[in-house]
A and B are shown apart, each in its own frame.
Chain A
Amino acid sequence: MNAIFAIGLTEFRRMFVSPLAWSILAVVQFILAWIFLLGLNEYLTQIQPQVAGMEDPPGISDLVVSALYLWAGIIMLVVMPLITMRQFAEERMNQTLALLTASPISNTQIVLGKYLGVLLFVLLMVALLSLMPLSLSFGTGLDWGKFAAAALGLVLLLASFAAAGLFLSSLTRQPVIAAVMTFGLLLFLVVLYISGSSQGTGSEVFVYLSHFGHFLSFLEGMFDSSDLVYYLLFIVGFLTLTIRKLDNDRLQG
């Protein structure tokens, strides 16, 4: 347990000694802030007057907050591979992986430690992002349930991105290839959702397999334990594959 925290915290720190993490946080925050203000403006000037007379009008949590988290999920499809690509591929390239594999720790601890590092970054990112909708609570009443579901959904979605990225990073020694493969896989799962929900040829199976389908139900404010289980299975599955890959490295050389 101690080793997992040691690796996780050091990985987290190392992200911030290079400009990569800072620039990613800054760019993503800037773009999302723009989207947030755009949505807020539209809501105040156009939607609010229209829905004023309705009996149960959609509120700001439905229209602005959900949209923000959805955009965050979409943008992170591109950004997450950049974070995870370093984890094993860069260590392989710089031949530093021997430090971990020669230490008295198991491969499971190495993988969980690396994953913890990425997870801390994800939590930081979602926390920064959540400051925007939270700032609305000064002026209006937020639907806290919906807000919490959306934030939890985003954390789970990004955690699943991270697990997939970690595995693909362990397969190669070129960080760029790891990033491209991760991006491809994540995008493919989105395409699965689109093809599953298209009219006529749609299939429930595709929607179920895609990580985005489960994310959307969180955004609607629905906390379904089957969605949670989907993400947990996804994460555990990819982490297990990563551990197996490291074991295999030792055996195959």
Chain B
Amino acid sequence: MINNQQELLVVASGLSRYYSDHCAVDNLEVQLRKGEVLGLLGPNGAGKSTTMQMLTGNLAPTMGEILINGIDLLDEPRKAKQQIGYLPEQPPVYRDLTVGEYLHYCARLRNVPVKERKAAVDRATERCGLESVGKRLIGNLSKGFRQRVGIAQAILHNPAVVILDEPTVGLDPIQIREIRRLIRELGQEHGIILSTHILPEVQAVCDRVQILNRGKTVFNDTLEGVESLEQVFFDLIFREADANEAHAEEVAA
């Protein structure tokens, strides 16, 4: 356990992202250890999705450095991406393929060797509970199953880091419970970063939480000793809003 604590899977430092003049992410530090589930939390527009896109190599940071399992994502994107599984807000599934076809295609894209491909697809199918729908078209599946296909796609190549952007949005309570259990399970051998709006979800699955507001980290700690995450969250967000208001008033005066 002590050893695992030392192993840093994701080290992002000085991460900034500007959309022309608008600063979406400002000098952010993100660290993830092996066997850890990190929750990214924050109000809408706090920069969660932008951060995740940068960590998965879909968006180039304006400034900063990202190391995935010791590999520089910006210098060797292909090697680093091999270590990442990513589920964007919308699961990137082709509606006109069956679940099996789609996962086999993903396995080829992720350089899973021919011999191990079937085993990898079977394992991901089983873990995400997709055995019963393997031959059905993804377009005909419910939102919850599509989300699970998205997760299966992300863990297919057994990546060191799994990044999930709002994995439980639009699911029913039973599915949410199943997905959370799956995330906990995955968290034991992978490092997981997930973003969410739902505070109880963070308490249910995350070991550590990082709260973002306006592109900055306002809280980054384990959940031990935190009595009410909700309280912490509102305190941080509103304190900042109050501070900004006071500042604006000062300027106006």
Q: Which residues of A contact B (CB under 8 A)?
A: 2-3, 6-7, 10, 14, 17-18, 94-106, 250-251, 253
Contacts and interface: CB of A to CB of B under 8 A. Distances in A.
B92 A98 contact: yes
Contacts of A97: 92
Interface of B: 17, 19, 50, 53, 56-60, 77-79, 81-82, 84, 86, 88-90, 92-97, 105-106, 108-111, 153
B88 A98 contact: yes
A18 B109 contact: no
Given A95-B92, A253-B19, A102 B108 contact: no
Contact of B110 (A95, A104, A253): A104
B57 A102 contact: yes
Contacts of B86: 98, 102
B56 A250 contact: no
A214 to B, nearest CB: 36
A101 B88 CA distance: 11
B106 A99 contact: yes
Contacts of B58: 98, 101-102, 250
A3 B92 contact: no
A173 to B, nearest CB: 13
Contacts of B50: 253
A105 B60 contact: no
B234 to A, nearest CB: 30
Contacts of A250: 57-60
Contacts of A99: 92-93, 106, 109, 153
Nearest to B163: A102
A96 B19 contact: no
Nearest to B59: A253
Contact of B94 (A2, A6, A14, A106): A14
A103 B110 contact: yes
A10 B97 CA distance: 9
A80 to B, nearest CB: 21
Nearest to B85: A102
A104 B59 contact: no
B81 A103 contact: yes
Contacts of A253: 17, 19, 50, 53, 59-60
Contact of B108 (A3, A94, A95, A96): A3
A10 B86 CA distance: 21
A194 B188 CA distance: 68
A104 B106 CA distance: 11
Contacts of A106: 77-78
B108 A17 contact: no
**Which of A2, A99, A104, A106 lies at the interface centre, i.e. has the most chain B CB atoms within 10 A of its CB?**
A104
5 contacts: A94-B90, A95-B89, A98-B58, A103-B81, A104-B78
Contacts of A98: 58, 86, 88, 92
A102 B88 CA distance: 10
A205 B54 CA distance: 46
A104 B79 contact: yes
A105 B109 contact: yes
Nearest to A17: B96
A96 B78 contact: no
Given A3-B109, A10-B105, A102 B19 contact: no
The 6 lowest CB-CB distance pairs between A and B, nearest first, are: A99-B92, A6-B108, A104-B81, A95-B90, A104-B82, A103-B109
Contacts of B96: 14, 17-18
B147 to A, nearest CB: 14
Given A103-B110, A104-B111, A6 B92 contact: no
Contacts of A10: 97, 105
Contacts of B59: 250, 253
